[in-house]
Amino acid sequence: MAHGLHIHVQCPHCGKSLMIPEPKIDQLDSIHFLVKIGNRIGHLYLSQVYGSYEKIFENVEDLPDAVVECSCPLCYRPFPVHHACGSCSAAVIALDLKVGGIIKVCTRNGCAHHSLEFEDSQDALNLFRSQDPSGLL
């Protein structure tokens, strides 16, 4: 079920939205990444619900614990790496939130480490204000 915050992200390089209407995950538009695992290139679709780990891999195998190289499907540039994950030491990438602030996501498949960060508390407020109340039911 679709509980929690809905996260709409955009590419930190080209500023374009990464939200895509298909496939639906948790009954909502998903977040689209271009991914590389080993030598294979494919697509990864993530739930926009913060705290949901629903995802769909396309053309690449959903290998547990594999490190996934993630890039923008629109400008093809890799998402910026911020630091190593505190729990698994894989790269942690950051994406821009449409309302301001960033979301950090660990690139190891299955690692649950992710976080929201706001430099400006107004951005956090905007995120809460942007939530469609009907989507929270």
Q: How near is the Cβ of 136 to Zn ion at its closest, in Å?
A: 28
Q: How near is the Cβ of 51 to Zn ion at its closest, in Å?
A: 16
d(CA 3, CA 65): 26
Site for Zn ion in 118-137 (CB under 5 A): none
Q: Determine if 88 is a binding residue for Zn ion (CB under 5 A).
A: yes
d(CA 109, CA 67): 6
Site for Zn ion in 24-83 (CB under 5 A): 72, 74-75
d(CA 46, CA 30): 5
Calculated CA dihedral for residues 45, 48, 51, 53, nearest 10 degrees = -20
Q: Which residues pair with 55 in a beta bridge?
A: 46
| C-beta of 23 vs 86, nearer to Zn ion | 86
d(CA 34, CA 20): 12
| C-beta of 70 vs 106, nearer to Zn ion | 106
DSSP 17-46: B-EEEEEEETTEEEEEEEEEETTEEEEEEE
| C-beta of 104 vs 135, nearer to Zn ion | 104
d(CA 116, CA 100): 11
Among 49, 68, 111, 127, contact with Zn ion (rule: CB under 5 A):
111
| C-beta of 32 vs 108, nearer to Zn ion | 108
Q: How near is the Cβ of 76 to Zn ion at its closest, in Å?
A: 7
The residue ranges that bind Zn ion (CB under 5 A) are 11, 13-14, 72, 74-75, 85, 87-88, 90, 106, 108, 111, 113
